[in-house]
Amino acid sequence: MTRPSALPAALALALAAAPASAESVLRIGMTAADTPTTTGMPNNGFEGMRFLGYPIFEGLVLWDLTRTDRLATVKPGLAERWEQAADDKNTWIFHLREGVSFHDGTPFDADAVIWNLDRYFKQDSPQYELPAAGITRARAPLVAGYRKVDARTVAITTSAPASYFPYMAVYILFTSPASFEKAGRDWAKVGTLPAAGTGPFRITRVSPREAVDLARNDGYWDKARMAKVDRVRLMPIPEANARIAALRAGQVDWIEAPAPDGIPSLKQAGFVITTGSYPHVWPWFYNIGAAGSPLKDVRVRQALNYCVDREGLITFLNGTAEPSVGWLKASDPNFGAPQNRYRLDPARGKALLAEAGYGPRKPLALKVMVSTSGSGQMQPLPMNEFLQENLKQTCDVDITFNVVEWQVLLNAGRAAPDAPTLQGANALNVSSPSSDVAVMARYFSSANISPKGFNFEQWKDDVFDASLRTLAEATDPETIATATRAAHERLVDDPPWLYIVHDLNPRAMSPKVKGFVSPQSWFVDMTLVSVP
């Protein structure tokens, strides 16, 4: 896969424009094909949140990304504490932090919270932003209402009890209302102002398809998390070999998802390769809801999970992944004890396909929508080509691809099953976090069928829904754990996805990058990083 690759003209221009001063500058090559949007709710999936979400725009709840020995948990952010209302499990009370200001100097208070919630959830509000609303509603689908209690307190009501709601609130980010007014109430202009958040970095320059520049926010409210670098430059470099070329040339300091067969030579040249097991899965989403879909039959969905050569794919990826046999890793205590333990077993896969009416005379044929690059997508084209050949050889399954840009694929994941935008796709290759029960609910609850939520598959399992309801209403940790295990067993035995691999989050860095922590999370804390 690795070969010399010329840098695109736009990238070369962005690199040439890098700050040339004594300031410390961290330059990062992202996998995105374009700069994520900069209004305060970035697109481009969780890579957008990683680099142009949390570092600039924060939520009432934040991730704790300082540890590597456990799954990342949530911690107080713009709210210093929260609790469920004593008389109503559907209502959460958030107590806002004192002394926080947006980058433009305006105060963060309850009015700013309500203004932003209206931006996402109130379609007739002047500040309603449709793209950002679509992203936020899908990640926090339980929000049913909200109100200002006083200047430092807000209440958010959910449509049903949800013990895990703070893990949804972590994805609701806040932008200064003054940014909207300064841009003439035009969100397209807000993105180039630049917009103001409350985070440890502030945006200083936006050049679409080239770069976004950040600077340390010297007025950040959390003095223990002041950024160690003066500036950060974020550049979209969607092609893996172009990212490696930029790193080797000293034009960037850090790249996401290096091409696996380039890793040994990068190590030999003195670059640092970081990997780590974390809650993230690289699957195919089955389109179960489409009219006439062969994936309506659970035997077909199970069969494909027995036909995949996960170990062969991991070898192909130079060990930068581990096998996925469920939404959670098999080592996770909440994996449970499902009846199916997926592995490469072509005989069983073929038998299940035969029961469903498929075989040599009528081979199963599927069209899969895949991306050229993107957030958490690893190496999507060569990996999917491997699977295409693998499934043909093991179980005589014919796979064709519709290759699209990453954001187009993300949009398809929120479409109805027979929407023209899907172009007849039977499955989507979209990577996903598997970090907590809130994500599980978003992706698999029958209440969150697309376009409301991320249940693209239109999957419904009564036992899963009942288990999810139990853990949502419970407060006892053991009851929650038991129900979580029962729910996950259904995700394995009645699979809405083809489980393929969990990636190991590889990135390559110059040895001058210091202090980086690879947490058990999709997100990272850039405030910890320093460069000379």
Please tell me the distance from the alpha carbon of residue 485 to that of residue 337, in angstroms, as a whole number.
8
What is the model's pLDDT at position 4?
Answer: 41
| 506 DSSP assignment | -
Tell me if 428 sits within 8 A of 285, measured CB to CB: yes
Angle at 514 between CA 508 and CA 516, to 5 degrees: 65
The CATH superfamily label for domain 280-503 reads Dipeptide-binding Protein; Domain 3 (3.10.105.10)
What is the model's pLDDT at position 452?
Answer: 73
Please tell me the distance from the alpha carbon of residue 247 to that of residue 507, in angstroms, as a whole number.
11
Please tell me the distance from the alpha carbon of residue 406 to that of residue 431, in angstroms, as a whole number.
11
Lookup: tokens for 286: 């089955």
Residue-range domain boundaries for the chain:
9-257+507-528, 280-503
Please tell me the distance from the alpha carbon of residue 144 to that of residue 147, in angstroms, as a whole number.
11
What is the DSSP annotation of 271-302? -EEE----SEEEEEEE--SSTT-GGGSHHHHH
What is the model's pLDDT at position 21?
Answer: 56
Please tell me the distance from the alpha carbon of residue 487 to that of residue 470, in angstroms, as a whole number.
10
What is the model's pLDDT at position 374?
Answer: 87
What is the DSSP annotation of 95-149? EEPTT-B-TTSPBPSHHHHHHHHHHHH-TTSTT--HHHHHHHHHHSTTEEEEEEE
What is the model's pLDDT at position 346?
Answer: 98
Neighbour tally for 185: CB within 10 Å: 11
Burial of 385 (0-12, 13-18, 19+ CB in 10 A): middle
Q: What are phi and psi of 90, to 5 degrees?
A: -85, -5
Please tell me the distance from the alpha carbon of residue 446 to that of residue 430, in angstroms, as a whole number.
19
Q: Please list, in sequence order, all residues whose beta carbon lies within 8 angstroms of the beta carbon of residue 224, skipping any fewer than 6 positions away.
A: none
Please tell me the distance from the alpha carbon of residue 244 to that of residue 526, in angstroms, as a whole number.
21
What is the model's pLDDT at position 7?
Answer: 54
Which regions in the chain score pLDDT beneath 50?
Answer: 1-6
What is the model's pLDDT at position 5?
Answer: 47
pLDDT (tens digit per residue) in 360-396: 999 999 999 999 988 889 999 999 999 999 999 999 9
Paired strand residues for 404 = 371
What is the model's pLDDT at position 12?
Answer: 58
CATH of domain 9-257+507-528: 3.40.190.10
